[in-house]
Amino acid sequence: MKLKVFKCNKCGAVVLNFDESETLECCDNEMIEQVPNSVDASFEKHLPIYIKEGDKLIAEVPHVMEEEHYIEWIMALTEEGYEMRDLEPGMEAKVEFEADGVKELYAYCNKHGLWKTIVE
Ligand SMILES: [Fe+2]
């Protein structure tokens, strides 16, 4: 499974796409594909890190979780699907997934966009 994330530059809507569409439209405009790890911001604060504990994968983003600036979600992607954990300001940006089959972790910062870590 492949993830593409698109954002509307007019209304700010973010759309997750798994069918490998090349383009999507919103507000009469073409949405902008978000390229992971491409925003000029601290890699250390945005890239998901993980440890495996038995059949669990614990993912964490060492980022602030403030009202104005936080990690909106963390996602684990496998060949067959994905699991997503929505986060809110004040929460810890640390979540748990079933480790089986996870090949990529994604995190989305409300200011700095999409970040991706390959899971070995
Ligand atoms: Fe950020």
Q: Is 92 a residue whose pLDDT tops 90? A: yes
C-beta separation of 112 from 38 below 8 A? no
What's the CA-to-centroid distance between 100 and ligand 1, angstroms? 28
The per-residue pLDDT for range 47-61, each reduced to its tens digit, is: 999 999 999 999 999
The per-residue pLDDT for range 68-90, each reduced to its tens digit, is: 999 999 999 999 999 999 999 99
What's the CA-to-centroid distance between 72 and ligand 1, angstroms? 10
Angstrom CA distances, 44 to 20, 34, 72, stand at 29, 19, 17
E strand or H helix at 74: strand 71-77
Domain total of the chain: 2
pTM to 2 decimal places: 0.93
- How does the average pLDDT of the chain come out, rounded? 96
Let me know whether 52 and 111 are in one domain: yes
Computed on alpha carbons and rounded to an integer, the radius of gyration of the chain in Å comes to 14
What is the residue range of 72's domain?
35-118
Let me know whether 85 and 26 are in one domain: no
What's the CA-to-centroid distance between 115 and ligand 1, angstroms? 10
Let me know whether 69 and 95 are in one domain: yes
What's the CA-to-centroid distance between 46 and ligand 1, angstroms? 6
C-beta separation of 112 from 46 below 8 A? yes
What's the CA-to-centroid distance between 54 and ligand 1, angstroms? 30
Per-chain residues with Cβ under 5 A from ion ligand 1: 109, 111-112
